[in-house]
Amino acid sequence: MSVAPETQSPARSKTARYVNQTLQNRMLLVVLAMVVLVPILASPANYQAQELATHTTRIMAGLLAGVLVLRARVATRKEEVLAFLGTGANSAVLLYFFISVIGLFIAPPVAIRIALGEFFRILTGVLLYFALAYHVTRSEHLTKILDALVMVAGLMSMLGLVDLSRNTQQVFNATTFGDHQLFGAFLMILFPVTILAALTEKELRRQVIARVVAALTGICLIMTGTRTAWVGAIVEIFALGAFSLIPSKNRKREAVDARQYVIPVLIVLACMVVFVAMGGAGAIGNRFSLESRNAAMAYRYRMWHGAEELIKRRPLEGHGLGSYPVLQEQYTGYGRPAEKVISTFPSLGEMAHNFWYQTAAEQGLIGVAAFAAILITFLTAGVRRLRFLETGIRRHLLLASMAGVVGFAVDAIANPAWQFVQVSLFLWLMLGLGVACIRPRHGR
């Protein structure tokens, strides 16, 4: 009697294939591990946990560097070099990295440990950018990263709501990510990813999950009480709409079924009921109160004044990486004295609360212009590429990445979160993903 061979169920077979494909790509595996582990480890308001997240990021950056070296292909022809420099934001990224190396050498000797930490933050971002742009190029790999980002956004949003449920005060006292400003920035830059996934997923199960995550992310973002992240998210939505209007020359116009928006609307309404029931209305009212706004702006004006004074003294080259937290106290009167900052690490209280001002103070007008060039060249390349991308994972991820970068540019005006590696790496992730979508596809 012959025995029929065992066959796997379609779902189990699909899962096994998914896992095998992921394990075969070392670069994809490292990126997915970084995307998932760093937010989870950074979530408790615990110094040891924050240190663990930082060390994990350094290990992941080292792995990225190793894989990049092993898989590097040196361009030998002029055409290849010009094509590389003309792709996405590559030229601006390399220029900014070179300026950062100079900033490391001109940093105050007493602050060299802080300068090295800041340099590592930038190096991690640059490595992640090139790893994604040049080694995660297949559509199936991009889908895996999209899945991971949606999963992380949903998980962190649920952790944030658990934080809220334990809080008896009328303000959101986030322990997730260690501070509500870091948490708000993190949710803000992932918000467009969850929106695109919610609106474009075709499979019913994935569609429902994406819509629930998008709603949870939006509600939790509001509950962080981070006003700059709120503004950034609003700008992201407008940017997403504007970029979506750019038609593809190769794309046929599709009929829109209005019923697809019913479920997201119902989910948002349900979440709003939960939001009000958990005291959200009172928390938001506190954040919009005149007293709260005046206190926040007075503090920021003082920190910005410190950055302006430093810029006046060395406008072109700046004072070196990591110098603002060490030098600002003599101009602002806030934060800890330089000797205490040097003995530990900078905290939120020593940051300029404006990424652009702090970058200009540390890396000069040349450095901040180079960083702005990264965003401008990326968005310009993205707009051009959208005219040729058909509907699919590449177009959707490029739209989300561009919206996220625009949101960052706004949020960074008054949010200190972007000076911390566990948040800034997601900006570089968006840039790298966007360039991966801009480059010609190499298979599906």
Instruction: Convert the pLDDT of each residue in 28-71 to its tens digit.
Output: 677 777 777 777 666 555 555 556 666 777 777 776 666 666 56
Range 319-345 average pLDDT: 85
Residue carrying structure tokens 């950062």:
100
Residue 68 belongs to a domain: no
Domain that holds residue 433: 25-58+93-247+261-438
What are the phi and psi torsion angles at 391 (to 5°)? -60, 130
Look at residues 363, 347, 349, 356 and name the one whose alpha carbon lies nearest to residue 408: 356
Examine the pLDDT at 391 and tell me if it is beyond 60: yes
What's the domain count of the chain? 1
Residue 349 belongs to a domain: yes
Q: Where are the alpha helices (DSSP H) in 224-352?
A: 227-244, 262-277, 280-288, 290-313, 324-327, 329-332, 338-343
> Which of the four pLDDT bands, split at 50, 70 and 90, describes residue 93?
very high
Range 337-352 average pLDDT: 82
Q: What is the pLDDT of residue 376?
A: 96
Range 10-21 average pLDDT: 56
Range 420-429 average pLDDT: 90
Residue 198 belongs to a domain: yes
> Which of the four pLDDT bands, split at 50, 70 and 90, describes residue 255?
very low
Residue 269 belongs to a domain: yes
Rounded to whole angstroms, the Cα distance separating 275 from 186 reads 20
Residue 228 belongs to a domain: yes
Average pLDDT of the chain to the nearest whole number: 79
Residue 6 belongs to a domain: no
Residue 319 belongs to a domain: yes
One-letter amino acid for residue 224 of the chain: T
Look at residues 383, 389, 406, 395 and name the one whose alpha carbon lies nearest to residue 433: 395
The total of other beta-carbon atoms located within 10 Å of residue 252's CB is 7
Residue 12 belongs to a domain: no
